[in-house]
Amino acid sequence: MENNNDVLLKVDHLCQYFRMGRKDLKAVDDVSFEIKKGEAFGLVGESGCGKTTTGRSIIKLYNITSGNVYFKGQRIGAGTRSYKDAIKNARNELKAFAKECKEEGTDEAKAKLQKKTEEVQAFIAEQKKEMASAIRDQKHCDKELVTKIQMIFQDPIASLDPRMTVRDIIAEGLVINGMTDKELINRKVYDILETVGLVREHADRYPHEFSGGQRQRIGIARAVVMQPEMIIADEPISALDVSIQAQVINLLNDLRDSMGLTILFIAHDLSVVKYFSDRIGVMYFGKLVELADSDELFKHPLHPYTKSLLSAIPLPDPVYEKQRTRITYNPLAEHDYSVDQPSFREITPGHFVYCNDAEEAKYREMVK
């Protein structure tokens, strides 16, 4: 990934696994991307691909399994699995090497084993040091810094406490962070209500008295009242009518301009993401498979899953719709990773694709 001083959020090899019986469910598997200050970054993919889990891991609703999350250059989230795996692999490698040296039984073999043991012990000590640092950063990172990231949740009614008034819902974050001046709190609540298109009379009502679009505006107000630098919008319009969707998107755009917000916009509707986002990352089955500028992704999609998603976008044109053919993505048929393993690679400047050597050569030929 490119090194840029304007990078606000950096996600580095993020893994989020959940234990299911004796196996791990890899909800997010080795995902890396950067979001620049003031940018709207779209994260798209089908339901269950790990988009929401990525957002929740960034904002520390989950303790991440492995990888790192940096915000404004500081590590706010870190996992330990990679260090544990590295230590385990090093010990297994030393065990196998010791067995070979024992079978050889020469003085030279003993010297080799001694040297290898010292190297492995030094490596393990370094990994344990890194792991202790990761645990410390995960638990004791700057809490004030983390509050500069706020989240808008997908379901507006499920994310609002039905027993709290709108005033209490919006003011909750302010109170938790130590604000005690009731007049100041009320002023902030009224100001933010008007900012998101509601009125101050709504402050004493309860969530069930509002429509879906109004509830989502309350959710946006709750996030924005904290004066964040970044918003994670988790499918904020998927539960709303089309006309209301446009209003909420325009509201987010206005807030982005007026407050200088950086937005991670999570959605499965590619046409909405294209309108709203500067860059787009495409996720499939826990992995980021393609990342590019919005226009570039739509003009020159490379990964077959991205092509499949784009082929599913309907257009209000009966002639086009009659001729439109859906592209089906079958990973087993599309990829052969039995020998040549894939990784996330830059095909053209700023355009990254998850591929192996053979696919990389093919993609580079396609963009010539």
Q: Does 337 share its domain with 233?
A: yes
Q: Does 68 share its domain with 96?
A: no
Asked if 312 contacts 324 with a C-beta cutoff of 8 angstroms, the reply is no
pLDDT for the residue numbered 9: 95
Per the structure block, which two tokens stand in for 300? 């020159």
Q: Considering its fold, how many domains does the chain have in total?
A: 3
At 5, which CATH number? 3.40.50.300
Last residue of a domain, one of 227, 247, 273: 227
Reduce the DSSP state of residue 327 to 3 states and report it.
coil
Q: Which residues of 81-98 are buried (b: 16+ CB within 10 A; e: fewer)?
A: bbbeebbeebeeebeebe
> How far from 61 is each of 16, 31, 56, 144, 175, CA to CA, in Å?
12, 17, 5, 15, 20
Tens-place pLDDT, residues 136-186: 988 888 888 888 999 998 887 888 999 999 999 999 989 988 888 899 999
pLDDT for the residue numbered 2: 45
Asked if 282 contacts 340 with a C-beta cutoff of 8 angstroms, the reply is no
> Which are the contacts of 327, defined by CB distance < 8 A and separation ≥ 6?
304, 307, 308, 311
Last residue of a domain, one of 205, 227, 249: 227
pLDDT for the residue numbered 241: 79
pLDDT for the residue numbered 65: 93
> How far from 34 is each of 42, 160, 325, CA to CA, in Å?
12, 30, 34
Last residue of a domain, one of 206, 227, 248: 227
Q: Does 351 share its domain with 321?
A: yes
Pairing of strands 74-78, 287-293: unpaired
> Which are the contacts of 210, defined by CB distance < 8 A and separation ≥ 6?
202, 218
Structural domain boundaries enclosing 316 = 1-72+229-237+260-368
pLDDT in tens, the chain (368 residues): 444 558 999 999 999 999 888 888 999 999 999 999 999 999 999 888 999 999 999 999 998 999 999 999 899 999 999 999 999 999 999 999 998 888 887 888 888 899 999 999 999 999 999 999 999 988 888 888 888 999 998 887 888 999 999 999 999 989 988 888 899 999 999 999 999 989 989 999 999 999 888 998 999 999 999 999 999 999 888 777 777 888 888 889 988 999 999 999 998 878 888 888 999 999 999 999 999 999 999 999 999 999 999 888 887 888 888 888 888 899 988 888 888 899 999 999 999 999 999 999 999 998 87
Asked if 350 contacts 335 with a C-beta cutoff of 8 angstroms, the reply is no
Q: Is 284 within a domain?
A: yes
Q: Does 362 share its domain with 275?
A: yes
Give the integer Cα–Cα distance in Å for 167 and 71: 30
Asked if 32 contacts 12 with a C-beta cutoff of 8 angstroms, the reply is yes
Smallest Cα–Cα separation from 167: which of 192, 132, 142? Answer: 192
Neighbours of 299 (CB within 10 A): 9
Q: Is 127 within a domain?
A: yes
Q: Is 192 within a domain?
A: yes
Q: Does 29 share its domain with 97?
A: no
Asked if 276 contacts 253 with a C-beta cutoff of 8 angstroms, the reply is yes
Q: Is 254 within a domain?
A: no
The terminus-to-terminus CA distance of the chain in angstroms comes to: 22
Q: Does 367 share its domain with 306?
A: yes
Q: Does 364 share its domain with 276?
A: yes
Alpha helix (H) ranges present in the chain? 51-58, 81-104, 107-140, 143-146, 166-176, 182-195, 212-224, 242-259, 270-276, 294-299, 304-311, 318-323, 331-334, 357-366
DSSP string, 185-251: HHHHHHHHHHHTT--GGGGGS-GGGS-HHHHHHHHHHHHHTT--SEEEEESTTTTS-HHHHHHHHHH
Asked if 58 contacts 75 with a C-beta cutoff of 8 angstroms, the reply is no
Q: Is 242 within a domain?
A: no
Q: Does 233 share its domain with 354?
A: yes
Q: Does 233 share its domain with 345?
A: yes
Q: Does 293 share its domain with 341?
A: yes
Q: Does 353 share its domain with 233?
A: yes
Q: Is 41 within a domain?
A: yes
What is the length of the chain? Answer: 368
Q: Is 244 within a domain?
A: no
Task: Please give the model's pTM, rounded to 2 decimal places.
Answer: 0.87
In a 13 Å sphere around the CA of 275, the CA atoms on its Cβ side amount to 10
Q: Is 249 within a domain?
A: no
Smallest Cα–Cα separation from 39: which of 324, 238, 322, 230? Answer: 230
Give the integer Cα–Cα distance in Å for 302 and 305: 9
Q: Does 233 share its domain with 358?
A: yes
Give the integer Cα–Cα distance in Å for 235 and 272: 11
